[in-house]
Amino acid sequence: MVRVSIEVHRDTSRLVMVVRAESIRRALSIAQALHPDADVRLVLPIEPEGFFVEDPAATPGPVGLEMLERAAG
């Protein structure tokens, strides 16, 4: 299992979510399913220290979320 950061862009809002999944492709798919009307992108560079998840109890899915910008108004 891997853990990656994914940027989610919708209109003028941008957030970063951390996702655990079986692969980078699956992590992007999970993010897109949660935000179907947004543009999702892998955050590069990938941090090697936290890329592989070795905890056997870890489950796939989002594990964190950080709002970077919010739409004005």
Give the per-residue pLDDT at 72: 41
pLDDT the model gives residue 48: 87
Top pLDDT among 27 and 70 is at 27
Among 15-19, 27-31, 54-58, 64-68, where is mean pLDDT lowest? Answer: 64-68
Q: What is the pLDDT of residue 65?
A: 65
Determine the Cα–Cα distance for residues 40 and 7; give it in Å rounded to an integer. 6
> What is the C-alpha separation between 59 and 53, in angstroms, rounded?
10
